[in-house]
Every structure is written in structure tokens, then in C-alpha cells.
Structure 1
Amino acid sequence: MSLTRPALKLTHKGTSVLLAAAVEAAEAMGVPQCIAVVDEGCNLMGFIRMDGSRVLSIESATRKAMTAATTGQQTGNIAPDKALLLAEATSGRMTNLLGGVPLIVNGHIIGGIGVGSGTGEQDLAIANAAVSVFQKHIEEGQTA
């Protein structure tokens, strides 16, 4: 049995790619957003609050990112009973609101992005757009 395991880590450059792509998608949609990016340990790597976004969405965007990074799944799709348990077990730090997407590279969860301030569907579309750009960079051989 091995005593170590390989690990991929999200860098500030990868974080910058995600934030820029999310802002571009939000601007194209005309919906100012709060955008949070966390690493695999739920440490905040980057955050942007666009002009006109809701102040209380700072927390929800961050919690969406943390939930996606922790569970490895998009928020909003977690079974209701499991979502309630996660919220209770984490003192409300995890959420099942739409808009959180995990960052997965080569089968490893390296973090999550959370978007909040629009409708759940808008938040999710913007998060997915950012992850698509990020994945394209990975596929082109750019390190994140």
C-alpha cells in the first residue's frame, strides 16, 4: 500500500482563468454576479463581486463553490435528504442552491466554482461556462 498519492493543485493562474471566463459570461448575459473559486480543501483562491451584484450573494457563491469542491458534484442536484444532512453537519456552510460546479482534472477534484446573484439557472450557466473555458485550457496542455 502506498503512503502517498499524486495530487493536482489549482493555481492562481487557473483561478484567474476561471474568474475571467465567469465575468465574461455574466457580462454577456447582463447579470452581475458574485463569483468564488476554492481549491480542493475549500480554501478561497479568488473572488469577484461584480458591480450591481447582491451583497448577500458573497456568502452563497462561496458556499456553492465549497459544496461543489467537497462533494464533487454540481450543487442543486444533491438529493434533498443528503443536502439537509450536509447543511446540518457543516453548520450551514454547504448549500444545495444551483450555481456550484466542481473542478475535476484527470479524475481529481481540484476545487470548485460558485456563482450567485442571478437566478439559479443563470448562476449555473455562468459557472459551467467558466469551467468549459478552464477545461479547454487543460485540454490544450496548459497547466492550471
Structure 2
Amino acid sequence: MYLRSTQELTHAAAQVILQGAIAQAESMGVPQCIAIVDAGGNLLAFLRMDGAKVLSQLSATQKAITAASSRVPTGGVPGDVELKLAFATGGQLTNLKGGLPIVIHGQVVGAIGVGSGTGDQDVEVGQAGIDALMAVLS
């Protein structure tokens, strides 16, 4: 076989994910930076909520790109590899918690990266965004 079928996130899907993540962050009282990328790590949507840390704009995007390219959540790389990861990629990839791949029918179609809270808060907000998409797809 020379071709394969792929699924891609649309901007409408990115908006659903973003709204789900925003709702969770607001319910927690933790303003966040939220980035959504496609499977290739290209930015589809981004929002810095009022009060979110400005520096988290970059880390949220890096978390999303890392999760899309590695196809696993960020934050799981052993400490001795973490620094090597940052150096090897010119700082483009990160091991900070808060990046989650978006998997549809076993295929990674993109990722969400969240930053400005604790790592666990970032993951919770990101998962809420993914859950919002899954709810409209079911």
C-alpha cells in the first residue's frame, strides 16, 4: 500500500477543545495558557487567559508540540534525559507536565499543551479539553 488515510483536527475541533479547557481552568480558578496543535505540531489555536503567566505562552506551546511529536504525555522523561532532550532540540521540546496527545481511533491527530498552573493542574485542564472533543464526537 502506498497511501494511508489520516484524520486531521479542524479549527472547529480546536475551538471545542479550547472551550472545554477554558471552562475547566475557570472552574478551578487557575488562569492558563492553552495551545492546540495538529499531529505535525503546527499551532491551530492558542489562548492566554486573563491573569495567566506570560512565560507560560511558550511552555504551553512547547508542551503541545512535544506531546504531538512523541505521541505520549509530557512529564514522563527521566531526569537524566530531560536536559539532553532540551539541548538536542534547541529548547523546542520539553518534559514539563501539561502536554497531552489527542488520540482518535488509535491515531494521534494533535495535542494540547497547558501552562501556568501546577503540572497536575495543567494536565487536568488539558484533559478537560480533550474530553470536550470526545463528547461531541460520540
Q: TM-score if structure 1 supplies the norm length?
A: 0.91
Identity of aligned residues (%): 48
| Other structure's SS at 2:24 match | helix
Report the TM-score when normalising by structure 2. Answer: 0.95
Cα distance in structure 1, aligned partners of 2:111 and 2:7: 13
Hey, what does 1:125 align to over in structure 2? 124
Q: Which residue does 1:73 correspond to in 2?
A: 72
* SS of residue matched to 1:5: coil
Matches within 5 A, 1:1-144: 2-138=1-137, 140=138
Distance 1:80 1:13, change over 3 A: same
Letter in 2 for 1:71: S
Alpha-carbon distance in 2 for matches of 1:78, 1:134 = 27
List structure 1 segments (4+ residues) > 6 angstroms apart after TM superposition.
none
How far did 1:78 drift?
2.5
Once the two structures are TM-superposed, the CA of residue 137 in structure 1 deviates from its matched residue by 1.9
**In structure 1, how many angstroms separate the alpha carbons of the residues matched to 2:36 and 2:65?**
8
Amino acid corresponding to residue 100 of structure 2 in structure 1: V
Cα distance in 1, alignment partners of residues 73 and 18 from structure 2 = 18
User: C-alpha distance in 1, partners of 2:41/2:105?
Assistant: 19
Give the Cα–Cα distance (whole angstroms) in 1 for the partners of residues 110 and 97 of structure 2: 17
State the AA in 1 paired with 2:19. A
Q: Take 1:95 and 1:110, find their aligned partners in 2: how far apart are those partners?
A: 19
| In 1, Cα distance between equivalents of 2:28 and 2:18 | 15
User: What is the root-mean-square deviation of aligned Cα atoms in Å?
Assistant: 1.1
